[in-house]
Amino acid sequence: MKITASKQAVLNGISIVSGAVPVNTTMPIQKFILISASGGKITFTANDSDLGIETVVEGSIETAGIAAIEKGMFMEAVRKMPDGEMNIEVGEDFTMHIRNEEQKIDLSIKGNSGEDFTSLPDIEKEEPIEISMLTFRDMVRQIIFSISTGNESNKVMSGVDCIIYGDYMRLTTLDGHRVSIRNVDFDKEYKKQEVIIPGKTLSEISKILQPDAEKKVLIYITESHISFEFENTVAVSRLIYGSYINVDKMIKSEFQTSIKVDKKKLMECIDRSTLYSKEGNKKPVIIDVFDDELEIQVAATYGGQDEHIDIEKQGNDIRIGFNPKFILDALKVIDDDEVSIYFINSISPLYIKDAEETYIYMILPINLN
Amino acid sequence: MKITASKQAVLNGISIVSGAVPVNTTMPIQKFILISASGGKITFTANDSDLGIETVVEGSIETAGIAAIEKGMFMEAVRKMPDGEMNIEVGEDFTMHIRNEEQKIDLSIKGNSGEDFTSLPDIEKEEPIEISMLTFRDMVRQIIFSISTGNESNKVMSGVDCIIYGDYMRLTTLDGHRVSIRNVDFDKEYKKQEVIIPGKTLSEISKILQPDAEKKVLIYITESHISFEFENTVAVSRLIYGSYINVDKMIKSEFQTSIKVDKKKLMECIDRSTLYSKEGNKKPVIIDVFDDELEIQVAATYGGQDEHIDIEKQGNDIRIGFNPKFILDALKVIDDDEVSIYFINSISPLYIKDAEETYIYMILPINLN
């Protein structure tokens, strides 16, 4: 194999497929990137057991061929090359040479034939769901933080619930303390269905999506897989088998109190509350809702907080306690300048949501008694 | 105590004295910053067993007083305050309140009286050595990397040798593999003397020196201490007791070969050599000096390097091997665009130095046989 490509194109290709190279694995081949040059197309592929990513790299092919190269070493070597065109040649012993002829540079890395490499599963393609890269990227960013991690006993909760309701889609994540929901309307009707996507898949894909409202992601769903196609890239992931918790009942509540508050002010205030979250015995932030202001207080053994923030309020006064981290996580991903918060009573969750319910964050309180 | 100061001034004060707050210590008080407001001056002081730093913070005093506050918590709390003026008040129970009255923010942190705090040693001041902040900062940066660390059996080598030769000063560091030297001329004559300064002291001080050629550092030396005064800051450090290795003989050699080479090209090339320094059995970079070019080669089990760089040469051809890291460390801190390298033979050190010998880097080779 002999190809020519720019350093930037190769680096970009490596970093796109890197999301499917596991950090730890017992299968050495999963640490490799498969490079294929054939039919006029250079493709890089990586594939761990759950997620595979394949991307087309711009460049020219002098001799077709295929080889696998360890991702870490490949990336480091390319990073250290000068900018501009590079020649990449893999000989019969599968040693890759990365050359800059003009500057008389020749770096070599031993690779292998790639015959142990598992290619991406071929999935049956029905009509894809179309969504802009920007919107899908934002949706994932706005719900991915409340996924359950490290809980192998309930794999369903390590996934993102994705429900296509026909003309809109809902992404939901939850851990034992909170539920995060993002809804998006479609301009056409799709087949109703529900799947659970591994959190890691969406997290990796959102990293390689550009914040571009004009470009589309095409999403194909089958019984066992989900595939994302955008620009020169295809990502195929296994789905998680199981039933997700039904959150419909949780989010239909009678609120006794609602407030409107400046998001930045509240976020900076709750960020200060986290100063006092270091003790083993974590102190809740106590929120008192009065007519025109919130009072925010924390009392820890090594200090405390007392702040007042102006609000607009409807309904009753209320005193309620929370883990400040959970409120902060939600406020950090909300793009609105003003947020509305809804309360039921001091032992029920609060809800941060916009009027159209494009986002809903439900957070369980800490009992103050 | 009650004072008013800007967030920026307080943060700056904390970060200046932070160099004297140890990361690990068995003496809790060393984790604290002493805040003193008296005689119209607000000072912050930190002091571990070797280095003490005191700095004056701009602000106004409403009530004089003194208190000690844990550095980590103090810094984090101030960072999370809004920009602008802050009121800092410490009551009789030594709880510090940091307030922004306008925004109704009150953060508190429990402190203590500071009565266990060790103040900076009073040192006898003779005529100081004067040097610009920029020059001294550069000198330290250019030699500090080859200090011996973690070698408690030879404390002298964990220090920087500082010799005042009268009208010039030399800083020297060395580990078992290399010697780094920086000389600077004075425009006046000082008393001849030699001291060994703890590496950590110089490393911390260089962090807080600004790259300003107009502002001066005043250096006072006594039998057991060295003190640095600049702007609103005083740093006092213990000296290391002992005799430093005499490097004079090492740096006077008969060279058989000398070359001139583009520094950036060589540095980027040797940086690529470090790609192959990961095996347990580290491979040397092999340098072949020919008439008009260097050939740089590494042969590792998982790949290799072969590059050519144009040079100007005087003297014999030579083949010699090195640990690429040591050459890279020196090249990284040299500010010249072109460097001169001198060789004796294939089992003697190389020397990277400028014509005036403001810097000399001596690096031991790896025997290729």
Are A43 and A54 a contacting pair, CB within 8 Å? yes
pLDDT on residue A347: 94
Contact B88, B107 (CB under 8 A): no
Share of chain A above pLDDT 70, in %: 98
Q: What is the pLDDT of residue B279?
A: 65
CA–CA distances in Å: residue B103 to residues A309, A335, B59, B81:
8, 23, 20, 10
Counting as low any pLDDT under 50, the low residues of chain B are none
State mean pLDDT over A332-360.
97
Residue A126 sits at the chain B interface (C-beta within 8 Å): no
Query: What is the enclosing helix (H) or strand (E) of A3?
Result: strand A2-6
Confirm or reject contact between A315 and chain B (CB < 8 A): no
> Three-state SS for A70?
strand
Cβ neighbours of residue A223 under 8 Å, at least 6 residues apart? none
Across the interface, whether the CB atoms of B272 and A302 are under 8 A apart is answered no
Please write down the long-range contacts of B245-251, taking CB distance under 8 Å and 24 or more positions apart.
B245/B156, B245/B157, B245/B161, B245/B174, B247/B161, B247/B172, B247/B174, B247/B179, B247/B181, B250/B179, B250/B349, B250/B362, B251/B179, B251/B181, B251/B351, B251/B360, B251/B362
- Looking at the fold, whether A45 and A82 belong to one and the same domain comes out as yes
Res A170 pLDDT > 80 = yes
What's the pLDDT score for residue B152? 61
A272 with A346, same domain: the answer is: yes
Q: What is the pLDDT of residue A279?
A: 65
Residues A272, B105: C-beta atoms closer than 8 Å:
yes
Check whether residue A90 and residue A179 sit in a common domain: no
Same domain as A316, residue A224: no
pLDDT of residue A149: 80
Q: CB under 8 Å, gap of 24 or more: what pairs does B151-156 form?
A: B155/B240, B155/B242, B156/B196, B156/B240, B156/B242, B156/B243, B156/B244, B156/B245
Q: What is the DSSP string of B170-198?
A: EEEEEETTEEEEEEEE-SS----EEEEEE
Number of helical (H) and strand (E) elements in chain B, helices listed first: 6, 25
- Partners of B272 on chain A (C-beta within 8 Å) are 77, 80-81, 105, 107
In a domain, B151, yes or no: yes
Residue A302 is nearest to which of B109, B271, B301, comparing CB atoms? Answer: B109
A231 with A266, same domain: the answer is no
Residues β-bridged to residue A46: A53
Between the alpha carbon of residue A298 and those of residues A273, A303, B175, the distances in Å are: 7, 8, 51
pLDDT at residue A283 is higher than 90: no
Cα distances (angstroms) measured from residue B80 to each of A283, B59, B74, B106, B152: 18, 19, 10, 12, 39
Q: Say what the pLDDT of residue B153 is.
A: 64
What pLDDT, on a 0 to 100 scale, did the predictor assign at position B251?
85
Q: Does A264 touch chain B (CB under 8 A)?
A: no
Asked whether residue A368 is domain-assigned, the answer is no
The domain in which residue B61 lies consists of 2-110
B210 and B265 inside one domain: no
Task: Write out the two tokens for A241.
Answer: 């088998």
Residues A234 and A279 in one domain: no
Does one domain contain both A13 and A102?
Answer: yes
Given a contact cutoff of 8 angstroms between Cβ atoms, the answer to whether B289 and B233 are in contact is no
Interface test with A, best of B78, B79, B105 (most A CBs within 10 A): B105
- Please check the confidence at residue A150 and state whether its pLDDT lies above 80: no
CB-based burial of residue B64 (10 Å sphere; 0-12 exposed, 13-18 middle, 19+ buried)? middle
* Domain-embedded: residue A89: yes
- By CB atoms closer than 10 A (0-12, 13-18, 19+), residue A341 is buried
Residue A207 lies in a domain: yes
- The amino acid sitting at A318 is I
pLDDT tens, position by position, B223-266: 999 999 999 999 999 999 999 999 988 888 889 999 999 999 99
> How many distinct helices (H) and strands (E) make up chain A?
6, 26
B308 Cβ under 8 Å from any chain A Cβ: yes
Q: What value does the mean pLDDT take over residues A15-34?
A: 94
In a domain, A243, yes or no: no
Task: Dig out the tokens for A228 from the structure.
Answer: 């994302």
How distant is the alpha carbon of residue B137 from its chain centre?
Answer: 7
Domain count, chain B: 3
Does B300 contact chain A (CB < 8 Å)?
no
Q: ipTM of this predicted complex?
A: 0.91
Question: How far is CA B333 from each of CA B142, B145, B180, B299, B323, rounded to the nearest angstrom?
Answer: 5, 9, 11, 27, 17
Interchain contact, A104 vs B271, CB within 8 Å = no
Q: Of B238, B267, B291, which marks where a domain is finished?
A: B238
Q: Are residues B142 and B66 in the same domain?
A: no
Same domain? B14 vs B84 = yes
Q: Looking at the structure, do residues A8 and A103 belong to the same domain, yes or no? A: yes
Alpha-helical (H) ranges within chain B are: 7-17, 71-79, 133-143, 199-208, 263-273, 324-333
* Residue A95 sits at the chain B interface (C-beta within 8 Å): yes
pLDDT digits (tens, 9 = 90+) for B336-352: 999 999 999 999 999 99
Are B106 and B133 contained in the same domain? Answer: no
Residues 6+ apart with CB under 8 A from B160: B140, B143, B144, B147, B171, B172, B173, B196, B197, B198, B199, B202
Q: CB–CB of A80 and B272 under 8 A? A: yes
Angle at B133 between CA B48 and CA B336, to 5 degrees: 115
CB contact under 8 A, A275 and B308: no
pLDDT at site B338: 98
In a domain, residue A116? The reply is no
**Is B59 among the domain residues?**
yes
| Residue A278: per-residue pLDDT | 79
Q: Closest partner residue to B106 among A77, A301, A306, by Cβ? A: A306
Burial of B187 (0-12, 13-18, 19+ CB in 10 A): exposed
Residue A281 scores a pLDDT above 80:
no
B114 and B34 Cβ atoms separated by less than 8 Å: yes
Asked if the Cβ–Cβ distance from B307 to A104 is below 8 Å, we say yes
Here the CATH number for the domain that contains residue B331 is 3.10.150.10
Does residue A120 fall inside a structural domain? no
